[in-house]
Amino acid sequence: MKLFEPITIGRLTLRNRLVFAPYETNYATEEGLVTQRQIDHYQKIARGGTGLIVVEASNVNPDLSLRVTPFGLGVYDDKVIAPLQRLSQAIHGEGCKVILQLADKSILAKGITPGDFQVSEIEKLIDYFVKASVRVQKAGFDGVNFHMAHAYTLAHFLSIKSNKRTDAYGKGMEGKSKISVEILKRTRQQVGGDFLLVPRLSGDEFIVEGNTLKQTLVIAKILEETGADMLDISAGGRREETADPAGENSYSAHRSVPRDYLPDGVNVYLAEAIKKATQIPVITVGKIKTAALAEEILQNGKADLVAMGRQLFADPDFPKKVQEGMEKEIISCLSCRYCHRVYFKNEPIECVHRVKAARQQP
């Protein structure tokens, strides 16, 4: 199967094309430090045979009141390096490569827009991302994933819906991309050419007057030309931009974590379009739960790598079971969002399958 063929990105070779998607756990300490539970969680995914793990969205902002979640990872200070190193070593010990996702959620936390930032504040935010990237490299990771999608600050700057600035950080798609471009350029200067830099984008925001593929194709080309090694294409997640009182149940939210009523692989066409327009590898994600679908995506050139989040959380041994012809033994994700609902309560995530099994214990 092409799914289990190695792939080389830059100078990094992955054992296969299966990616564990960034997936916040609420397993960290209140300071954002790695815990043993987190290490065990990711080591289990790596041991199951996944080729690349993208560790969950990690806060770059030293103001902890603006962190991604109360128990999310942080990369805002040098004290995180040693704990993160234990995590990278555990994953590498299982033959898996690993990058870490960097994020800032200050716009959502403060209820502001890109237009409320002074240029000096933008410069400070760029510096946070660059310094966080250096820490991740020092901790032994293979690269970083810049969260430029969903409800995160960089996504707001990229969006024609939320970024109404008329200066260099807002005028045209080049202006809206400028903060992301500067983060990529300055990070590359600090980490060198062997460290993967992977932006995550919303292929379509799925909000009225928001970015669609038309805008994202432009952004993708700009980031490719800036030196991105790979593009990670998600969708939606812009519920805070809508007037929809359903909030987390808005359609945009449904597309970032596809619900059970949506078809499998619902967002693949977005990655396919971006792959056709660029020359660097592209990851697709979004309710991909079977090896057959993953293989079809790869065989037909719709993406170069396939990411699974909830499915690999439900069954970390998914890759081994497929390779050993034990697909009937796979525990399939129900797309029920139990894990997501627990996450939004700021509780440690768990899979409904394991919760049910625990309840059945005598």
pLDDT value of residue 246: 44
User: Average pLDDT, stretch 143-162?
Assistant: 96
Please determine, for residue 355, whether its predicted confidence score (pLDDT) is greater than 70.
yes
The first and second tokens of residue 23, run together, are: 């997936």
pLDDT band at 239 (very low <50, low <70, confident <90, very high): low
Please determine, for residue 18, whether its predicted confidence score (pLDDT) is greater than 70.
yes
**Selected residue with higher pLDDT from 336 and 242:** 336
Residue type (1 letter), 292:
A
170-209 pLDDT per residue, tens: 999 999 999 999 999 999 999 999 999 999 999 999 999 9
pLDDT value of residue 243: 41
- From the list 191, 212, 190, the residue with the least C-alpha distance to 201 is 212
Please determine, for residue 67, whether its predicted confidence score (pLDDT) is greater than 90.
no
Please determine, for residue 85, whether its predicted confidence score (pLDDT) is greater than 80.
yes
Give, in order, the Cα–Cα distances in Å from 230 to each of 149, 225, 283.
15, 11, 8
From CA 350, how far away is CA 182, in angstroms rounded? 37
Angle at 172 between CA 167 and CA 177, to 5 degrees: 85
User: Average pLDDT, stretch 20-34?
Assistant: 95
From CA 259, how far away is CA 314, in angstroms rounded? 16
Of the listed ranges 237-246, 260-269, 322-331, the one predicted with least confidence: 237-246
User: Average pLDDT, stretch 43-64?
Assistant: 97
From CA 207, how far away is CA 78, in angstroms rounded? 38
296-315 pLDDT per residue, tens: 999 999 999 999 999 999 99
| Residue 37: other Cβ atoms inside 10 A | 11
pLDDT band at 66 (very low <50, low <70, confident <90, very high): confident
Q: Classify burial at 115, counting beta carbons within 10 Å of its beta carbon; exposed 0-12, middle 13-18, buried 19 or more.
A: middle
Please determine, for residue 231, whether its predicted confidence score (pLDDT) is greater than 90.
yes
pLDDT value of residue 353: 87
| Residue 6: other Cβ atoms inside 10 A | 10
- From the list 201, 203, 341, 181, the residue with the least C-alpha distance to 269 is 203
pLDDT value of residue 312: 97
From CA 35, how far away is CA 72, in angstroms rounded? 11
pLDDT value of residue 296: 98
> Which residues share a beta bridge with 154?
none
Question: What is the DSSP secondary-structure string of 97-163?
Answer: EEEEEEE--HHHHHT--GGG--HHHHHHHHHHHHHHHHHHHHTT-SEEEEEESTTSHHHHHH-TTT-
Helices and strands per DSSP (H, E), number in the chain: 14, 10
Phi/psi for 97 (5° steps) reads -90, 160
pLDDT value of residue 249: 74
Please determine, for residue 106, whether its predicted confidence score (pLDDT) is greater than 70.
yes
pTM of the predicted model, to two decimals? 0.95
* Helix, strand and coil percent figures for the chain, each rounded to 5: 45, 15, 40
Q: In whole numbers, what is the pLDDT of the chain averaged over residues?
A: 94
User: Average pLDDT, stretch 269-289?
Assistant: 98
**Selected residue with higher pLDDT from 358 and 259:** 259
Fold of 2-330: TIM Barrel (3.20.20)
From CA 77, how far away is CA 266, in angstroms rounded? 38
- Say what percent of the chain tops pLDDT 70: 97
pLDDT value of residue 27: 96
Q: Could you tell me where the beta strands, DSSP code E, fall in the chain? A: 7-9, 12-14, 18-20, 52-59, 97-103, 143-148, 196-202, 231-234, 282-284, 305-308
pLDDT band at 362 (very low <50, low <70, confident <90, very high): low
Task: Give the H/E segment covering residue 357.
Answer: helix 352-359
User: Average pLDDT, stretch 62-78?
Assistant: 91
Please determine, for residue 149, whether its predicted confidence score (pLDDT) is greater than 50.
yes
pLDDT band at 241 (very low <50, low <70, confident <90, very high): very low
Contact 161, 210 (CB under 8 A): yes
User: Average pLDDT, stretch 310-337?
Assistant: 95
Please identify which of the residues 42, 128, 152, 169 carries the catalytic annotation: 152
From CA 14, how far away is CA 277, in angstroms rounded? 23
Please determine, for residue 248, whether its predicted confidence score (pLDDT) is greater than 90.
no
- From the list 219, 218, 209, the residue with the least C-alpha distance to 241 is 209
What distance separates the 2 farthest-apart alpha carbons in the chain?
65
Is 261 among the residues known to form the active site? no
From CA 65, how far away is CA 148, in angstroms rounded? 20
pLDDT value of residue 210: 94
pLDDT value of residue 361: 66
- From the list 287, 283, 267, 266, the residue with the least C-alpha distance to 275 is 283
User: Average pLDDT, stretch 265-283?
Assistant: 98
